[in-house]
Amino acid sequence: MASSDIAAILENSKELDRLRKDQEEILLEINKLHKKLQTTPEVVEKPGDNSLARLKVLYTQAKDLSDSEANISNLLISQLDAVLPPGPQGQPRRRIGKVCVTEGNEQRRKRVKTESDISRLTPSMRNQLEACAGLKGEQVAARVTPRNAEKDEWFVVKVIHFDKETKEFEVLDEEPGDDEDSSGQRQYKLPMGNIIPFPKSNDLSSAPDFPPGKHVLAVYPGTTALYKATVVHGHRKRKTDDYVLEFDDDEEDGSLPQRTVPFHKVVPMPEGHRP
């Protein structure tokens, strides 16, 4: 192995370490802004405030650093592949999640779920976890499988807790349907992919401007269940806080009635969803 090869690997390792330190600094700034906006959201209404513009800049920097980290990591892998001898190295490995672990290595497997592993996530992934943790106490749209149900359904639930290690939400269905086994509230543990946050009820700008004909999931009036619907009028065009929707399978007298739904009870149709 040439000394120049080792020097190049060490140099890229130093660059990788520098990128991670820069990411940590950006993340700290992002978290400070998040806290500021959560505690005093009205600050964005003040003339001259640049909180949102600053947040956008920080997210852009975080993405650029994350992309650079991925490029350097791929380069290091290529450099190591070039200098390592062919053939199997060490014990057989198997993949758990996104981390390769040695067969039978219990300590390594447990370490996958520790805070030290979380700290090595890219800024975008850490920000996603922080955003999920910030949903505690909020109502969200959740895909669940109720007892005795043949398929998944979407309900309005309240977030009780988000576990950053398992990436699972603990949620409460506060108003279970009449077909449930009991009239009491029900709790579920759901993965991140089963949760969609609603737009903030006090922030109309947080709601997407769905065009007419767009398919969405929306809370059917008078219920806590979400169903597939088609946008007839978006809230911005009508200059109101509501959408006008037509729900699938809501036929009355041979036609679909148009129903008004508040903007904070409508979410995008999940990719690949089949209601």
HEC per residue, 102-157: ECCCHHHHHHCCCHHHHCCCCHHHHHHHHHHHCCCCCEEEEEECCCCCCCCEEEEE
| Domain spans in the chain, listed from the N-terminal domain onward | 3-42+52-83+103-130, 134-197, 204-268
pTM of full prediction above 0.85: no
CATH number of 134-197: 2.30.30
pLDDT of res. 120: 55
**Rounded to an integer, what distance in angstroms lies between the CA atom of residue 267 and that of residue 208?**
8
More confident residue, 120 or 135: 135
> Sorting pLDDT into bands at 50, 70 and 90, what band is 92?
very low
Confidence of residue 113 (pLDDT cuts 50, 70, 90): very low
Choose the most confident range, by mean pLDDT, from 23-27, 179-183, 260-264: 260-264
Q: Report the percentage of the chain scoring pLDDT > 90.
A: 23
Q: What is the fold, at CATH topology level, of the domain defined by 204-268?
A: SH3 type barrels. (2.30.30)
Q: Which of 236, 231, 234 is nearest to 247 (CA)?
A: 231
- Which of 39-43, 96-100, 119-123, 203-207 shows the lowest mean pLDDT across its residues? 96-100
Q: Model confidence at 85, in pLDDT bands (50, 70, 90)?
A: low
In the block, residue with structure tokens 């969609």: 196
pLDDT score for 99: 32
Portion of the chain with pLDDT greater than 70, in percent: 74
Spatial distance between the Cα atoms of 241 and 209, rounded to a whole number of angstroms: 11
Q: What is the pLDDT of residues 220-272, one digit of tens each?
A: 999 999 999 999 987 655 556 789 999 998 887 788 899 999 999 999 988 76
Structure tokens given for 129: 């976890």
pLDDT per residue over 28-66, tens digit each? Answer: 888 888 888 888 888 777 888 888 888 888 888 888 888
204-268 matches 134-197 in CATH topology:
yes
3-state percent breakdown (helix, strand, coil) of the chain, nearest 5: 40, 25, 35
Beta-strand relationship, 153-163 and 242-247: unpaired
Q: What does the pLDDT read at residue 190?
A: 93
Q: Compare 168 and 241 and report the one with higher pLDDT.
A: 168
**Is the pLDDT score of 18 beyond 70?**
yes
The chain-wide mean pLDDT, for the chain, equals: 77
- The answer to whether residue 115 scores a pLDDT higher than 80 is no
Poorest-pLDDT segment among 43-57, 90-104, 153-167, 219-233: 90-104
Residues 6+ apart with CB under 8 A from 143: 152, 153, 154, 190, 194, 195, 270
